[in-house]
Structure 1
Amino acid sequence: MDGPTITDHSGGMQRREPLGGAEFAPETTYLNSASSGLLPARSAAALRAALDESASYGTMGRDYFAAASASRAAFARLMGVPAERVAVGSSVAVQSAFVAASLPADAEVLAPEGDFSSLVNPLAARPGLTLRTVPLEALADEVRPGTALVAFSAVQSRDGRIADLAAVREAARAHGARTYLDATQAAGWLPLRAADFDFVVAGAFKWLLCPRGTTFMAFGGELGAGAPWPAAPHAGWVAGEDLDASNYGLIRPAATARRFDEPHAFYSYVGAEQSLALIDELGVDTIHAHNTALAAHYRAGLAERGLTPVSAPGSAIVSTPGLTDAEHRLSEAGVRISVRGGLLRAAFHLYNSTDDVERLLSLLG
């Protein structure tokens, strides 16, 4: 499935072709995976088949749970935890509200300044919690004895900065704080281990190439080691141990992380099963090398033009000030890209190539 890497003798850079073969044939130069990913051909085909099936078998399909179960297992493999430690859901905000509900009423939560709203807003909205924000670079140093939870994104959405995961994890452990990692902008290209953190959430419609409405929560750390599960305030019938007996009245919660499942969007997980299979086939390490090489090529081209992006070493996201007025022109030329916080944000993923980078640079030049 890997695309070839060809040496470009004229420029001294290695030329990279897209990964994924015939899975992708976009009509655009798509550099916007930090907003949402492209849907692989296999996922689109599975969705069409599910829609056709619904005309005879209803909108839960012939087997409502099969695709979600396969997707749960695939995400678990990706994050290095057993499938029993993964819950499925629909949004990061819902999972953040669940994490907030698991904390004592007077707890302090530490988070980076300007982190993504779906992560931090539900924590701030929980009555009694104190949300303290600090610069990302100071996050590990700012953990203190009264901190109950450190909530942060592995990769910042606005500008691609990568958190010092090891330093934050160790600081939290030293002070008895739990960790809540948002991997939405990382899962699918940045190697991660869910076991290193207490809660790991990922909205899967970006770098994991799943339909929107697909979200996973993995439990690691003390929870993965057998600590008591927190309460599940949003538990519905799908969270019951015996699904056949969970439709009416009080349920007996599942003995696994399925007790935290939301009733999932059937079609979203039909597509997710196929998309996650592609990520698994290609391998995160291969995707990481591909994405970061393209990002490095783009940074070098920006430097040649006297432009300086936000410092985010090793990131697949490159955000640059002073270029926001180029978005409309790029869009008219068929380049899909985004502006966030006064920065032109380019995101390089497996379906991108050296040609995409050079086209973007040419249009900016």
Structure 2
Amino acid sequence: METFESLVRSEFAPKNTFLNTASSGLLPARTVAALHEAVRLRAEGSPLDSLFGDVEAARASFARLAGVPVARVAAGASVAAHTGLIAASLTSGAEVLTAEDDFTSVVNPFHARGDLKVRTVPLERIAESVRPGTALVAVSAAQSADGRIADLPALREAAREHGARTYVDFSQAAGWLPVEADAYDYTASICYKWLLGPHGAAFLVVPEDFGALTPVLAGWVAGENPWDSCYGPVTELAHSARRFDLPPALFTYTGLRHSLDLIEELGVDAVRAHDLALADRFRAGLARLGHEPLPAPGSPIVSVPRLGHRQPELSSAGIQVSNRAGNLRASFHVYNTPADVDRLLDVLSA
């Protein structure tokens, strides 16, 4: 039986010190092989039926990670599109509660409506800010800029008390933090960060009764029988969340299927323990250097004020991190090691 470390070593061989999963994760070897095979099929003119099957396999894998029946999972391409679908379902004048400086894809579609009351509060106050009349609370489980984790249990309780729906974006959390999608009305996640997939895939989890969503983006893939829904209006929408599907990027989903398999094999709890141990090692090293990161306990994303300007220097040294609003953001995942953390600290100490 392979250990966590041996399985990771068999899948990843980064050529630099990659500490930037919060921007984009690395692709496992099995995913790269699957992408090559998909391209070969397309180049040869072979049938692509197996690629459509990969969409369903990826959907089922994500459903297991999210802890919900597969019938509640819709496949798309971006969180912004999923947010737009939810925004379209709200009545004019409805109040949407959001967190300050949350990722644009989570909040902008509500602003774009022009007729919704979008109220923004600090992340730490979002649960206490739910009030009578709040129709929806929309928030990221983990903040992109600095890794702060929302108090989701408190948010659930406040929303339940006031009759508000909840929409949680797990893009910076799925893969290392349990999703528990059944606890919310809607959840979404892109798959190219902590889930280690290619760009161009995202999932939306909806309630069993579809949560008052209208499939305004429905095309042929949203039909109960897609191949019978290619011409004219869709006469019978899918009886599952597939009615909210967007036409899939087949290569992406073929690769994603194998990435999700790896996450399931590793186990989210083991991934979380690995990632957080590295983040804590970095925080301890920063303290020794006299730097204090922004508070984000329990997160593998560490953001350090006033060090963002060093990102080009670090890149030149073969260390990949991000500069976010002047803060240096490092993020740690399965393919990282204590040596990666120490190398970053060594360069920062110079």
Please state which band the TM-score falls in when normalised by the shorter chain: over 0.9
Q: Offset at 1:243?
A: 1.5
Bigger CA drift: 98-107 or 257-266?
98-107
Residue 250 (structure 1) aligned to one of 220, 233, 242: 233
Letter in 2 for 1:47: L
Residue 119 (structure 1) aligned to one of 106, 129, 136: 106
1:236 equivalent to 2:219? Answer: yes
Give the 3 Å change call, closer, same or farther, for CA 128–73 of structure 1 in structure 2.
same
SS of the aligned residue for 1:330 comes to: helix
Residue 110 (structure 1) aligned to one of 81, 97, 108: 97
Give the 3 Å change call, closer, same or farther, for CA 185–227 of structure 1 in structure 2.
closer
1:215-226 correspondence runs (5 A): 215-219=202-206, 223-224=207-208, 226=209
Partner of residue 8, structure 1: none
Partner of residue 364, structure 1: 348
1:336 equivalent to 2:320? Answer: yes
Q: Offset at 1:347?
A: 0.2
1:91-102 correspondence runs (5 A): 91-102=78-89
Residue 191 (structure 1) aligned to one of 174, 178, 181: 178
CA contact (8 A) 2:309 2:326 kept: no
Partner of residue 202, structure 1: 189
Aligned pair count reads 347
Q: Offset at 1:64?
A: 4.1
Give the 3 Å change call, closer, same or farther, for CA 23–228 of structure 1 in structure 2.
closer
Q: Which residues of structure 2 form unaligned runs of 5+? A: none
TM-score, with length taken from structure 1: 0.93
Residue 313 (structure 1) aligned to one of 292, 297, 309: 297
SS of the aligned residue for 2:101 comes to: coil
SS of the aligned residue for 2:166 comes to: strand
CA RMSD of aligned residues (A): 1.3
Q: Offset at 1:127?
A: 3.2
CA contact (8 A) 1:19 1:350 kept: no
Partner of residue 163, structure 1: 150
Question: Aligned equivalents of 2:110 and 2:324: distance in 1?
Answer: 23
Question: Aligned equivalents of 2:191 and 2:231: distance in 1?
Answer: 31
Question: Aligned equivalents of 2:3 and 2:121: distance in 1?
Answer: 40
Question: Aligned equivalents of 1:19 and 1:104: distance in 2?
Answer: 49
CA contact (8 A) 2:38 2:51 kept: no
SS of the aligned residue for 1:181 comes to: strand
Identical-residue share of aligned pairs (%): 53
Question: Aligned equivalents of 1:90 and 1:57: distance in 2?
Answer: 25
Give the 3 Å change call, closer, same or farther, for CA 31–228 of structure 1 in structure 2.
closer
Question: Aligned equivalents of 1:318 and 1:43: distance in 2?
Answer: 27
Question: Aligned equivalents of 1:332 and 1:212: distance in 2?
Answer: 25
Letter in 2 for 1:89: G
> Runs of 4+ in structure 1 displaced over 6 angstroms?
none
SS of the aligned residue for 1:250 comes to: coil
CA deviations over 1:259-311 (Å, ceiling 9, x no partner): 00000101100100000000000000000000001000000000011100000
CA deviations over 1:307-348 (Å, ceiling 9, x no partner): 000000010000001212211111011001101121100000
Question: Aligned equivalents of 1:227 and 1:90: distance in 2?
Answer: 19
Question: Aligned equivalents of 2:252 and 2:170: distance in 1?
Answer: 19
Higher helix share: 2
Q: Offset at 1:227?
A: 6.2
CA contact (8 A) 2:89 2:212 kept: no
Q: Offset at 1:107?
A: 0.5
Q: Offset at 1:142?
A: 0.4
Q: Which residues of structure 1 form unaligned runs of 5+? A: 5-17
Letter in 2 for 1:211: P
Residue 80 (structure 1) aligned to one of 62, 67, 72: 67
Q: Offset at 1:57?
A: 2.7
Partner of residue 256, structure 2: 272
TM-score, with length taken from structure 2: 0.97
Partner of residue 53, structure 1: 41
Partner of residue 42, structure 1: 30
Q: Offset at 1:229?
A: 4.7
Question: Aligned equivalents of 1:62 and 1:176: distance in 2?
Answer: 44
SS of the aligned residue for 1:150 comes to: strand
CA deviations over 1:23-69 (Å, ceiling 9, x no partner): 000101000000000000000000001101101236x8233420110
Partner of residue 330, structure 2: 346
Partner of residue 145, structure 1: 132
CA contact (8 A) 1:2 1:21 kept: no
1:261 equivalent to 2:262? Answer: no
Give the 3 Å change call, closer, same or farther, for CA 354–237 of structure 1 in structure 2.
same
Q: Offset at 1:207?
A: 0.4
Residue 23 (structure 1) aligned to one of 11, 25, 28: 11
